[in-house]
Amino acid sequence: MLKILKYSFYDLMRSRWSYVYFLFYLLLGIVLLFLNNNLNKAVITLMNVIIVLVPLIGTIFGVMYYYNSKEFTELLLAQPVKRSSIFLGQYFGVALSLSMSLIVGLGLPFVFYGIFNSSAIWDFSLLLVTGTFLTLIFTALAFVIALANENKIKGFGYAILLWLFMAVIYDGVFLMSLMYFEDYPLDKFSLVATMLNPVDLSRVLILLKLDISALLGYTGAVFQQFFGTRLGLVLSTVTLALWVLVPTLFIYRMARRKDF
Amino acid sequence: MKKIYSIALVLLGSLMVCQPLSANTLEVCGKCDYTTISEAVAAAQPFDTVLVKQGTYAEYNIGIVKPLTLLGENNPVIDGQDKGEIITVQSDDVTVDGFTVVNVGTSYTTDYAAIRVVKSKRYTIKNCRLERLFFGIYLEKSSDGVVHNNYIQGDAVNEYNSGNGIQLWYCKNVEVTGNTVKNVRDGIYLEFSDHIDIRDNKSIDNLRYGLHFMFSNDDSYTNNLFQNNGAGVAVMFSKNIEMKNNVFRKNWGTAAFGLLLKEINDSEISGNTFEENTVGINIEGSNRIDYLHNDFKNNGWAVKVRGACYANIFKFNNFLYNSFDISYNSKLNDNGFDRNYWSNYTGYDLNKNGIGDVPYRPVKLFSYIVNRTPETIILLRSLFIDIIDFSEKVSPVFTPDNLLDENPQMKPIRHDTNR
Amino acid sequence: MIQIDNLHKKFGKNQVLKGIDLTIDSGGIFAVLGPNGSGKTTLIKSILGMVIPNSGSIKLNGASVKRNWQYRNDIDYLPQIANFPGNLTVKELIRMIKDLRSDKPADDRRLIELFKLQPFLDKKLSNLSGGTKQKVNLVLTFMFDSPLVILDEPTTGLDPISHLRLKKLITEEKKKGKTILITSHIMGFVEEISDEIVFLLEGKIYFRGTIPELKTKTEQPDFEHAIASMLSSSYA
């Protein structure tokens, strides 16, 4: 698997899209930091970008990579390599190169800005960690979708739908149910509903670390209390890890059964 | 405590009878005739001056029961050694000027203060520096005084065992000007005190309120800075309070606000700056207040209206980059918004008269939802919320119909020229 | 060498292989022929483990290929469509495939020379023409010395000179005693090099034997007509 990963990674690191993605983050980081000069605000804007864009890029890029390298995958399948190794290798290749673009692209301007001497280093690290998690999660989901759909158009359609659901529709349903059941205690419900969607979980984890968390009022305090404890931290990490692990397991199982 | 006072009173009284009346200066220092302040105060005649030279004096319970000027030269230090109250004034016409007073005792039963004035008139406390204190300057049923240019630096950690910086209780006609109060419970606290003028003070880093009014009428506070206090400034159950040209900054926290108005009627709030507060102004049950020429900058909520608030008017204010401009918890609106500048306004001005051609709706759908179901705040800054806010802006369905600014300004208002 | 018993494969409702029995014991060149959709590629992919059969068994040298991957170390495969990760160079690709076979001794230098690929070694794969890609594909296939070689449409996109070289190469490999499976649409090519024909029709083996046997059976003087007659008689 590591061999496949290595070559997928090499291949992707040299692709135009990786550069575009990398440059986008680099530019974003520079603009936010040096034109705005406010670290805290930069982190908030980055959060907005990360929770929307990272999942989108992860899904689209994952699906695209899968379909584009289909013939090459067939060549690999004829080599003495385990099937699951090929797909897991490709998956991690894509996810890692995307994560690299994110981390290096955002990291460089922040390092030059002097993040290491700043108190925002933890907020910033959290931003990168959740960004990486989201990349891993959505690329894995993209691979699952692509493996399940021979038809490219369908695959892309489902991928977009998945992103739309996680980033928008889920919150809509969440909001509706909160308003519908407003007469009941909702703390536990909203905690669980937030935990279940990695996009929401990432958003809340970052929000709670920022000054802006004061806006969350009583509900925010409940969340803070939960995520501030070791249990909350472990649980949210486990949830994010599960979101990576379960789709990866699906990739593994689907890869073993599929015909090419 | 009271016993000691009365004994001192009797002693001093007998001394006063023996000495002739003339305005002398009594000096206090290590090698002077008097080596302690208490001795000098006891020996002084009414209207004498006690001049205390540079040095540290370990004293407490200094009782002043006759008109005196207590003057410090080069900031002498009075160290109370945490034993109790330090200076108690119980006479008219007393001035305390130029001391550094440290280590006031902390008690759960008695409100020890660095300087207390009891039932006195025409007093002046100025140029003092108070540190490591319980209560700072405590004015009790005392009128016609001046508290000027003092610096009070507390080290409060918990509300229950800390005191207030400057406290006024049943006082009238007092000027509180140019003081700095830091890190105590309430920076300045007024209870049952009328005609108080609070000007040019700085109240910073206090645990609870920067300034706190209770049942006090006909007061004014102007040109003050309230920064980074636990909750901000609270004005409650008071009438005719003038609030002008103050700065409320960085009162940031779950329950924090720049200014809390509770049951305040018929006032004017103008020329103030509210910057980076969780809530700029929190209004509860307050009517007929004019909000003019204020700046609301980078607050979570610029104005939060809760409970019944009628006939309030917002004019010529700048609302700049707040997460929410206005929040309402009812669908009714009896307040007017006119000619304000809203940085979130995206309309246009075809006839170039400086007024947007489309009215501005300052209540976002999300802020309406949050008011209805507070738990929904957890969706703050999610893409879905941005989308519904946008669609509500395009075609309003849920927010109060008449809640709008018909004449939104295209450019921020410059208050000095526009007034 | 290869032993296939009662192989069935369905894609959705489409039954592609309907019970294939095929045994190949000796070395030599075997051409798998048949009209479009007759199951040629599915059969080959089943042997390679890319398609997982619904029933039946495939054994290579006595061992089942099911849930096994090491056996592919002994197969060289030339896929029909050559498409490689665009941002790797030719050199890196060759290096990678060698890497995947745990650096088994490889004969890449001679083949690169044979197909005159030296000028392209440092070029990115996305910048190569279809023919050049096919040559790279050929190098990747023939550089290992495996006893079984499977070629899916090997002549696609090749210029006449490379075509000749390929033929020579295949003959050489045969001389080493290897088993070579080929699918091709170019009948001339098949006739020239193959020792035996396996003709698939509607998921079954319709004919297996040498070209002279085929000609005798169909009573046709030349190969192409023989194939055509087989097709028409089956549709009749």
pLDDT tens column, B95-113 = 999 999 999 988 888 889 9
Does pLDDT of A244 surpass 90? yes
CA distance C126 to C90: 10
Note the pLDDT of residue B19.
45
Going through chain C in order, the beta strands assigned E by DSSP cover 2-11, 14-24, 28-33, 55-60, 63-64, 75-78, 148-152, 179-183, 196-201, 204-209
Length of chain B as a residue count: 419
- Amino acid at position B283, single letter: I
Please tell me chain A's helix, strand, coil percentages from 3-state DSSP, rounded to the nearest 5: 90, 0, 10
Taking CA–CA distances from A163, the nearest residue in chain B reads B383
| Nearest residue to A235 (alpha-carbon basis) of A191, A181, A203, A200 | A191
Please state which of the ranges A207-221, B345-359, C39-53, C143-157 shows the lowest mean pLDDT. Answer: A207-221
Q: Does A181 touch chain C (CB under 8 A)?
A: no
Q: Which residues of B244-281 are buried (b: 16+ CB within 10 A; e: fewer)?
A: bbbbbbbbbbeebbbbbbbebbebbbbbbbbbbbbbbb
Question: CA angle at residue B344 from B338 to B349, to 5 degrees?
Answer: 65
Phi and psi, residue B325, nearest 5°: -80, -60
Residue B200 and residue B317: Cα distance in Å, rounded?
Answer: 22
pLDDT of residue A97: 92
Task: Name the residue type at position B133.
Answer: L
Residue C191, C-beta contacts closer than 8 angstroms, at least 6 positions apart: C211, C223, C224
Q: Which of B221, B131, B230, B235 is nearest to B186 (CA)?
A: B230
Q: Which residues of A touch C101 (CB under 8 A)?
A: 79-80
Q: SS3 sequence, A85-133?
A: HHHHHHHHHHHHHHHHHHHHHHHHHHHHHCHHHCCCHHHHHHHHHHHHH
Q: Which SS3 state, helix, strand or coil, does residue A61 take?
A: helix
Question: Domain of B140?
Answer: 1-230
Note whether C72 contacts A79, CB cutoff 8 Å: yes
- Backbone φ and ψ of B155, nearest 5°: -135, 45
pLDDT of residue B274: 95
Give the pLDDT of residue B9: 54
Of residues B283 and B4, more confidently modeled: B283
- What is the SS3 assignment for C145? coil
Most C CBs within 10 Å, among A2, A6, A7, A10, to test the C interface: A7
Measured between CA atoms, the residue of chain B closest to residue A213 is: B254
Minimal-distance CA residue of chain B relative to A204: B378
**CA-to-CA distance for B239 and B270, rounded, in angstroms?**
16
The verdict on a CB contact (< 8 Å) between A72 and C45 is no
Q: Which residues contact B75 (CB under 8 A, 6 or more apart)?
A: B54, B98, B99, B100, B129
Q: Kindly report, residue by residue over B286-344, the tens digit of the pLDDT.
A: 888 999 999 999 898 999 988 788 889 999 999 998 888 998 877 777 888 999 999 88
The CATH code of the domain that includes B180 is 2.160.20.10
Instruction: State the average pLDDT over residues B201-224.
Output: 93
The three-state DSSP-derived secondary structure of C41-103 is: HHHHHHHHCCCCCCEEEEEECCEECCCCCHHHHHEEEECCCCCCCCCCEHHHHHHHHHHHCCC
- The pLDDT score that the predictor gives to residue B231 is 86
Contacts of B323 in chain A (CB under 8 A): 212, 215
* B301 occurs within a structural domain: no
- Looking at the 3D structure of chain A, how many domains does it have? 1
Q: Which residues contact C41 (CB under 8 A, 6 or more apart)?
A: C80, C152, C183
Q: Which residues of B touch A218 (CB under 8 A)?
A: 254, 374
Residue B401 has pLDDT above 80, yes or no: no
Instruction: Specify the pLDDT at position B172.
Output: 95
| pLDDT tens per residue, range C207-232 | 888 888 888 888 888 888 888 888 77
DSSP one-letter code for C116: T
Mean pLDDT of A155-168: 94
Residue C16: C-alpha distances to residues B83, B317, C45, C204 (Å): 100, 77, 12, 9
Q: Is the pLDDT of residue C50 over 90?
A: no
| Residue B58 in this model has a pLDDT that exceeds 90 | yes
CB atoms inside a 10 Å sphere around CB C58 = 22
* pLDDT tens digits for range C155-195: 887 888 888 888 888 998 888 888 999 988 888 888 888 88
Domain C2-235 belongs in CATH node 3.90.550.10: no
**Encoded tokens for B306:** 């809760």
End-to-end CA gap in chain B: 55
Counting CB pairs under 8 A, whether chains C and A reach 3 or more, is yes
Interatomic CA distance for residues A243 and A224, integer angstroms: 22
Interface mutation vs chain B, best among A130, A170, A175, most B CBs within 10 Å: A175
User: C128 near C140, Cβ under 8 Å?
Assistant: no
Q: Do A216 and B253 touch (CB under 8 A)?
A: no
Which residues have CB under 8 Å from C36's CB, separation 6+?
none
Asked, for residue B108, whether it belongs to a domain, the answer is: yes
Return the structure tokens found at B50: 């006690």
- How many beta-carbon pairs under 8 angstroms link A with B? 84
Residue B362 located in a structural domain? no
Is A171 close to B382, i.e. CB distance below 8 A? yes
Determine contact, residues B222/B196, Cβ cutoff 8 Å. Answer: no
User: What's the confidence (pLDDT) of residue B12?
Assistant: 52
Q: Is A8 on the interface with C (CB under 8 A)?
A: yes
Q: Which residues in chain C (171-200) have CB-CB distances under 8 A to chain A?
A: none
Comparing B83 with C232, the larger pLDDT belongs to: B83
- Angstrom distances, CA of residue B195 to CA of A182, B142, B170, B173, B192: 46, 12, 11, 5, 10
* Chain C environment of A76 (Cβ under 8 Å): 100
Note the pLDDT of residue C236. 47
For residue B191, the cross-strand partners are B169, B214
The position carrying tokens 């690709």 is C93
Of B323, B369, B375, the CB nearest to A215: B323
The minimal CB distance from A52 to the residues B300, B383, B388 is found for B383
Between residues B83 and B402, which one has the greater pLDDT? Answer: B83
The model's pTM is 0.79
- Residue A121 domain boundaries: 2-257
pLDDT digit string, tens, across residues B269-295: 999 999 989 899 999 988 889 999 999
Of B278, B369, B378, the CB nearest to A223: B378
Task: Report the complex ipTM.
Answer: 0.85
Instruction: State mean pLDDT over A134-153.
Output: 94
What are the tens digits of pLDDT across the range C5-45? 888 998 888 888 888 888 888 788 999 988 887 888 888 88
Q: Which helix (H) or strand (E) holds A234?
A: helix A230-257
Residue bearing tokens 């960085």: B250
Please tell me the distance in Å from A38's CA to the nearest CA on chain B.
Answer: 13
How many Å apart are CA A72 and CA B343, to the nearest integer? 54
**Side-chain half-sphere CA neighbours of C24 within 13 A:** 24
Mean pLDDT for chain A overall? 88
Q: Report yes or no on chains A and B touching (3+ CB pairs under 8 A).
A: yes
Residue B44 identity: A
- pLDDT digits over B230-284, tens only? 888 999 998 889 999 999 999 888 788 999 999 988 888 999 999 989 899 999 9
Domain contains B189: yes
Q: Could you say which of A169, A172, A219 has the minimum Cβ distance to residue B374?
A: A219
Mapped to the 3 state alphabet, what secondary structure does chain B carry? CHHHHHHHHHHHHHHHHHCCCCCCEEEECCCCCECCHHHHHHHCCCCEEEEECCCEECCCCEEECCCEEEEECCCCEEECCCCCCCEEECCCCCEEECCEEECCCCCCCCCCEEEEEECCECCEEECCEEECCCEEEEEECCECCEEECCEEECCCCCCCCCCCCEEEECCEEEEEECCEEECCCCCEEEECCEEEEEECCEEECCCCEEEEEECCCCCEEECCEEECCCCEEEEECCECCEEECCEEECCCCCCCCCEEEECCEEEEEECCEEECCCEEEEEECCEEEEEECCEEECCCEEEEEECCCCCCEEECCEEECCCEEEEECCCCCCCEEECCEECCCCCCCCCCCCECCCCECCCCHHHHHHHHCHHHHHHCCCHHHHHHHHHHHHCCCCCCCCCCECCCECCCCCHHHHC
Can you give the pLDDT at residue B18? Answer: 44
On chain A, the residues whose CB falls within 8 A of the CB of B387 are 168
Q: How far apart are CA B241 and CA B286, in angstroms?
A: 12
Asked, for residue B367, whether it belongs to a domain, the answer is no
Written as six digits, the tokens of C146 are 């495996």
pLDDT 10s digits, C78-127: 887 777 888 888 988 888 888 888 767 778 888 898 888 899 999 988 88
The DSSP letter of residue A168 is I
pLDDT at B20: 44
